[in-house]
Copies of this chain bind each other. A is one copy, B any other.
Amino acid sequence: MYIPKHFEITDKDEIFSFIKENAFGQLISHVDGQLFSSHIPFLANDDNSSLICHIAKQNPQWKDIEGQEILITFQGPHDYISPSWYKAPGVPTWNYQSVHIYGKAKLITDSEKIKTIIEDLTDIYESSSKKPWVPEYKGSLLNVIVGIEIQITNIQCKYKLSQNRSAVDQKQVIKELKIKGSTKLAQAMKNGL
């Protein structure tokens, strides 16, 4: 992704914390030579060296993914930024946060390992539930999905949050985003101030 210096984030803790918060990304690879994307949640492994996901076997994307150099994109809150909000002159733009992960894909077909992926994802997403769902499903379910582990080879992170504008303009953008109801994006900008 094209990242001007003032929008580039290199802090790995920040990047993986962003991925955790915005885990519903896109798995982009080739199927029969054509671009293909699936929208799914991802999970980093213990040392953040790989990302793990699973898809339905009916989704053709897994069939020739083994060994492919693939791209996973994550996106956070985003919104249009009007130059009418600035004190100094400017042009229209869009503020957003995104992480792009490149890596080599490896299939996970072992039932026990797929079970672990489901349990790990469940732990994350059910943790805030009043009565967390406890994995309880037919073992045959494990036969209709396939896991994919992506060994990370390159990490790109861009926070495009008006860092190229004056402090006055940044504060006004935050204020206007709050009025618009873009509270998450406003908060991301505030965190960066």
Q: Which residues in A have some Cβ–Cβ distance to B below 8 Å?
A: 1-2, 4, 24, 26, 28-29, 34-41, 55-56, 58-61, 69-71, 73, 75, 78, 80, 82-84, 89, 91-92, 94, 96, 98, 100, 102, 118, 121-122, 125-126, 129-133, 136-137, 141
| B35 touching A28, Cβ below 8 Å | yes
Copies in the complex: 2
Q: Count chain B CB atoms within 10 A of each CB in A37, A131, A133 and give the residue with the most.
A: A37
| Complexed CA–CA distance, A4 and B78 (Å) | 29
Q: Contacts of A28 on B, CB cut-off 8 Å?
A: 28, 35, 37, 71
| Complexed CA–CA distance, A124 and B57 (Å) | 41
Look across to chain B and name the residue whose beta carbon is closest to the beta carbon of A55: B2
| A141 touching B56, Cβ below 8 Å | no
Look across to chain B and name the residue whose beta carbon is closest to the beta carbon of A37: B73
| A61 touching B2, Cβ below 8 Å | yes
Q: Contacts of A1 on B, CB cut-off 8 Å?
A: 36-39
Q: Contacts of A4 on B, CB cut-off 8 Å?
A: 58
Q: Contacts of A100 on B, CB cut-off 8 Å?
A: 37
